[in-house]
Amino acid sequence: MIHGQHNGLGWLSFASQFFNWTNGCIAVTNSEMDEIWQAVDVGVPIEIVQ
């Protein structure tokens, strides 16, 4: 999954990027998540290439 920060903890996004807390997900800041929601329709597949 792609997700933002835990509810109510968005202010900690700068610190949480130093830890692996996502269990394999892609974590972005809440403002980045808002941008993704605006750009991509629900159900559209997203391919993440490393």
User: What residue type is 24 in one-letter code?
Assistant: G
User: Residue 31: pLDDT above 70?
Assistant: yes
Q: 33: which 2 tokens?
A: 């998540």
Q: 27: which strand partners?
A: 3
- CA nearest neighbour of 29 among 15, 42, 40, 39: 15
User: Residue 33: pLDDT above 80?
Assistant: yes
Domain ranges of the chain: 2-39
Q: What is the pLDDT of residues 12-26, one digit of tens each?
A: 666 666 666 667 778
Q: Where is pLDDT greater, at 14 or 40?
A: 40
pTM for the structure as a whole: 0.58
